[in-house]
Amino acid sequence: MLIYQIYPRSFKDSNADGIGDLKGILEKLSYIVRLGVDTIWISPFVKSPQKDFGYDVSDYCDVDPRFGTLQDFKQLLNEAHRQKLKVIMDQVWCHCSDQHPWFIESRSNTKNSKADWFIWADARPDGTPPNNWLSYFGGGAWAWDTTRQQYYFHQFLESQPTFNLRHPDVRKAILQVGKFWLDMGVDGFRLDAIHTGFADPALRNNPARPKGMAVAPDVPKDIPQARQLRSNSEGHKDTLIFLEELRKLTNRYGALLLGEVGGENPLERAALYTGKKRLHMAYTFSLLKSKPDAASFAQTVAQAEETKNKDSQFCYALSNHDVKRVTSRWSEAGVKQEYAARTALLFGLSLPGTYCMYQGEELGLPEADVPFDKMVDPFGLAFYPKFKGRDGCRTPMPWSRIGSSGGFSSTRNPWLPFCEDHRALAVDVQERNKASTLYFTRRMIAWRKAQPALQGDGLRVLKTKGDIIAFERFDKKQRLLFVFNLGDTSANYKIPAKAELCDEASIGVQCVKNSLILRAMSGAVLTLKTH
């Protein structure tokens, strides 16, 4: 499966208010179809105060007016299905907005019907929070409520209280939300930060991260939370109860469950969370590092395939709305951005299971440099300038070279500034150039679908040195060898005799006798003799 992630705020604005919307997505569906992907994942568009841009929900069963109406979504859903695209909704089911009616009632007193729908705790005798848990967005993970005279737990912003998912009525309410959208015809859900839904019921402290131990891949190393092992604040085994209830629901509709899984040992956790009775697939932040590393990438792919549940798939991603764009991450050492963009695409499309592509990845967009006075991401604002947050990967999609907002909107002032560096990479520019990254993406997606070895899970990661990563993909009919140089200098790689280079799918390589010469940031595909 190939998934195309849409960040609706930045995809296409149809009404000139500077914010992308559902009608804008509808307008560009044919563009997505031409890419050759199977499924679109739409980031949150339900009602929200937008303090975390939709990941703080105030009404799970209605569309936020900024994005349109329920009727607009139904029209989009119907047209996507007509064009053979499946639609996955982003669902934020571990926390909501403090403006959600459920939380407003819960915080009103300790005796109401929803008093235990969130995680509340008394202060310690000295008035401090009940433990040392820290928020992803900085500072403590507990906020004091003057009405209840208790603290409530929040994994992210103070305005995003965490559900008490151990309460059966909470899970029942969330299942009703899922049923609402499944009855409408959605094809599945992407579950936001699903590992954060269940914490230690005894509220025990998190231990300090041992000196020299690597930071988990889903948090920047410079924030306070990176100093803890999040063994008690998230990832509790009770998560499995909730996942199994969700799977029973989606099985009735033949719908898909894709989970975002982070924290410590994310690949092992992803394997635990998936399977016949749990999620269909999961993705982690393991390949979303600041720069590519051949050894760690090889280990990640090997471990993901070795540990995954036999009844599930791993979903690989190199970009999304939470991290610096892959073109910039892979070209940090001075490599040309075009090389980085295309090599990353080939690498992602060569992996087993599902690949998830983020909007603009097909154009080779680099990270935008958003000045501080234009930043809006609360994560970036909290840690600037050491960490600039997520605005740089969320700027408006460049549809046209002309216009102040690059065809994204007719307004001059979209919600984030249009990146001038993206103008030369706009869709209309690349549509006129058959040597463009957009054309390359379409060719590679079509090529992937035509290769028997890439339709199954057959994979063997090979031992390599330096910046080279190599692996075989195979089935009974075909064996393919993939070799990538992820470094900033050229490299050689010895290949088997009678290996045939696939020129159409290779980037920046030469084959001389039994040796590949790979330029900096390049990739080769070779056909091997089957036995």
* Whole-prediction pTM: 0.97
Q: Which two tokens stand for residue 134?
A: 């820290």
Q: CATH 3.20.20.80 in the chain, residues?
A: 2-96+167-447
Distance in angstroms (rounded) separating the CA atoms of residues 33 and 25: 12
Low-confidence residues of the chain: pLDDT under 50: none
Q: Are 218 and 251 in contact (CB under 8 A)?
A: no
Six-digit token pair at 478? Answer: 């075909």
Token representation of residue 383: 């840690």
- For 267, the token pair is 């690949």
Bridge pairing between strands 59-63 and 46-47? antiparallel
Q: How remote is the C-alpha of 440 from its chain's centroid?
A: 22
Q: What is the pLDDT of residue 440?
A: 98
Amino acid at 112: N
- At 496 the three-state DSSP class reads coil
What spatial distance separates the first Cα and last Cα of the chain, rounded to whole Å? 28
| CA atoms of 263 and 257, how far apart (whole Å) | 19
Distance from C-alpha of 313 to C-alpha of 281, rounded to nearest angstrom: 5
User: What CATH number does domain 2-96+167-447 carry, 3.20.20.80, 3.40.50.300, 3.50.50.60, 3.40.50.10470?
Assistant: 3.20.20.80
The pLDDT value recorded for residue 531 is 65
| Domain 459-528 of CATH type 3.40.50.300 | no
The two structure tokens encoding residue 175 = 């299942």
474 backbone dihedrals φ, ψ, rounded to 5°: -155, 160
Per-residue CA distances from 272 to 3, 60, 235 (Å): 22, 27, 11
Q: What torsion, rounded to 10 degrees, do the Cα atoms 425, 427, 431, 432 define?
A: -50
Q: Which residue has the tokens 């930071």?
A: 215
Nearest C-alpha neighbor of 20 from the set 77, 73, 66: 66
What is the pairing mode between strands 256-260 and 188-191?
parallel
Tokens, residue 355: 């690949």
pLDDT for 290 = 75
pLDDT for the residue 291: 85
Decide if 238 is catalytic. Answer: no
192 tagged catalytic:
yes
Query: CATH 2.60.40.1180: which residues of the chain?
Result: 459-528
pLDDT at 350: 98
List all residues 6 or more positions away from 4 whose beta carbon is below 8 Å from its beta carbon: 32, 35, 37, 39, 40, 41, 356, 357, 359
User: Coil, strand or helix: which one is 491?
Assistant: strand
Contact yes or no for 199/155 (Cβ under 8 A): no
Helices (H), 187-265: 239-251
Tokens linked to 161: 């209280």
Candidates 192, 234, 322, 362; catalytic one: 192
CA distance 469 to 284: 20
**Secondary structure element (H or E) that encloses residue 138, with its range:** none
List the catalytic residue out of 52, 98, 218, 260. 260
Three-state SS for 173?
helix
Cα angle 29, 370, 403; round to 5: 50
